[in-house]
Amino acid sequence: MDTEIRTASAPPQPVPQDGAGPFATYEARVASGKLDRDPEQEKAARRLDRLWRELRDYHPMVMQRQATARHGLFGGLRARLGLGGRGAQAAPSRPRGVYMVGQVGRGKTMLMDLFFDLAPVEHKRRVHFHRFMQDVHQRIHDMKVADPALSDPIPPLARQIAQEAWLLCFDEFQVNDIADAMILGRLFDFLFADGVVVVATSNTKPEDLFQDRPGADAFKPFIDIIMREVDTVILDSPRDYRRGCVRGMRTWIVPADAAAKAELDTIFTHLAAGAPVQAVDLDIMGRTLRVERAAGPVARFTFAELCGRFLGAGDYLALATRFASLVIDDVPRMGPDNFDEARRFIVLIDALYEQNVKLFASAGDQPDSLYERGQGATAFERTASRLEEMQSASYAQLPHLSA
């Protein structure tokens, strides 16, 4: 699942009102053997359960404003006087969101998805954080094109986002660059003012987001906002539930020598299934990303082409959406001097993984040993774990998400 928005304009979705909450549902899955018992997960499920109960009685500001606008002055007056109706409360206290932190494979995403499905909220959205930021940049771009005189797109943008969905569930919350950092603080300030509730998973505690980077100081107020609005829940279990997958076909070829190249040639030809090899231009917000070697549903790059130049999350998402399979030659072992390449590779693999893109690569070493030392080496552990999972038979069967 990548992006899911459920709004009033979408086909009506059942909004669970009663029945089992996240904790009872989690316990039932443990009892039936679908999940292993994990006290850390139970702790998180309890916290999500509390939020689930709080949400049943919560009507955010943004929905009240909409109701007021719909019902005109009289309705607005009734609401302000507290005369009945759903929009009656003046300033409802906003439930604190939940921010789940832990290493890879601890079940954060599983728990968030379980919560999201049960959340008694009509206007809810579950999205990978890269995708959300991409959407934010796109909308800012569109707003500026539509109204060149618009000096500050953030307030209307925040209102738009809040009106579409006021429960926002972000998978893999992170802050990639200073451009995102600058937008996020103000955007979230407005979102929270409209009553939005946030649930997130992350590998990084809020207080550590975007630290040790140029511009980190400017980002501090955002960290304060996040910490004011959400409770951090740490999932600290010793187990990585992703390890131990059954190996599928050979997808990660070490070393990256002539034999590996020949093997990738064969794979590329096989995946192309007769489609001609040609250059393809992808449009990314008015920019063009040229893919030199594309053939039907597969594209081929060297590592240097993909991660050795200024490509970002937007480019990688476009690739991951357009191509069902990617062949990458020559992924090197990296060290402290290759921070930029390693960072881009992390973002690339996130994008591929989220869209279930099948990856075939030749590399200097196994995923675990690719980037052991250097800035962001800890974040790379998730990438290594994902690369492992992307080699599993079950991953190979997942359908490519092309939208």
For binding to Mg ion (CB under 5 A), which residues are involved?
109
What burial letters (b/e) apply to 173-208, b meaning 16+ CB within 10 Å? Answer: bbbbeeebbebbbbbbbbbbebbbbbbbbbbbebee
Nearer to ligand ADP, 325 or 383 (CB): 383
Nearer to ligand ADP, 87 or 102 (CB): 102
Provide the minimum distance between the beta carbon of 341 and ligand ADP in the complex, in angstroms, as a whole number: 23
* Contact call for residues 369 and 89 (beta carbons, < 8 A): no
The listed partner (Mg ion, ligand ADP, none) that binds 300, CB under 5 to 8 Å by sort, is none
Q: Residue 312, interface with ligand ADP (CB under 6 A)?
A: no
Select from 306, 308, 402, 397 the least CA-distant residue to 349: 306
Provide the minimum distance between the beta carbon of 389 and ligand ADP in the complex, in angstroms, as a whole number: 8
Q: Residue 381, interface with ligand ADP (CB under 6 A)?
A: no
The listed partner (ligand ADP, Mg ion, none) that binds 339, CB under 5 to 8 Å by sort, is none
The listed partner (Mg ion, ligand ADP, none) that binds 46, CB under 5 to 8 Å by sort, is none
Please list every residue from 43 through 102 that binds ligand ADP, using CB under 6 A: 102
Q: Residue 114, interface with ligand ADP (CB under 6 A)?
A: no
DSSP category for residue 391:
T
Provide the minimum distance between the beta carbon of 176 and ligand ADP in the complex, in angstroms, as a whole number: 18
DSSP three-state, residue 237:
coil
Select from 196, 218, 188, 179 the least CA-distant residue to 312: 179
State how far the Cα of 277 lies from the Cα of 295, in Å rounded to an integer.
Answer: 5
Residue of the chain from 87, 97, 105, 314 that contacts ligand ADP (CB under 6 A) = 105
What burial letters (b/e) apply to 82-114, b meaning 16+ CB within 10 Å? Answer: eeeeebbeeebebbbbbbbbbbbbbbbbbbbbb
Nearer to Mg ion, 117 or 365 (CB): 117
Q: Which distant-in-sequence residues (6+ apart) come within 8 Å of 296 by Cβ?
A: 271, 272, 273, 274, 275
Report CA torsion sign: 172, 331, 398, 33: negative
Residue of the chain from 41, 64, 176, 321 that contacts ligand ADP (CB under 6 A) = 41
> What DSSP line would sit under 31-50, residue for residue?
HTTSS---HHHHHHHHHHHH
Please list every residue from 190 through 209 that binds ligand ADP, using CB under 6 A: 201
Nearer to Mg ion, 29 or 242 (CB): 242
Nearer to ligand ADP, 104 or 181 (CB): 104
State how far the Cα of 399 lies from the Cα of 403, in Å rounded to an integer.
Answer: 12
Please list every residue from 237 through 296 that binds ligand ADP, using CB under 6 A: 241-242
138 to 128, 142, 314, 323: CA distances (angstroms): 15, 6, 10, 21
From the list 67-75, 103-111, 298-306, 336-344, the region that binds ligand ADP by CB under 6 A is 103-111
Select from 196, 129, 127 the least CA-distant residue to 167: 196
Q: Residue 367, interface with ligand ADP (CB under 6 A)?
A: no
Nearer to ligand ADP, 87 or 367 (CB): 367
Please state whether beta strands 124-128 and 278-284 pair in parallel, antiparallel, or not at all (unpaired).
unpaired
Nearer to ligand ADP, 176 or 201 (CB): 201
Q: Residue 107, interface with ligand ADP (CB under 6 A)?
A: yes
Specify the residue for token string 């979102």: 191
Q: Residue 36, interface with ligand ADP (CB under 6 A)?
A: yes
Residue of the chain from 5, 20, 24, 110 that contacts ligand ADP (CB under 6 A) = 110
- Give contact residues for ligand ADP (rule: CB under 6 A): 35-36, 38, 41, 102, 104-110, 201, 241-242
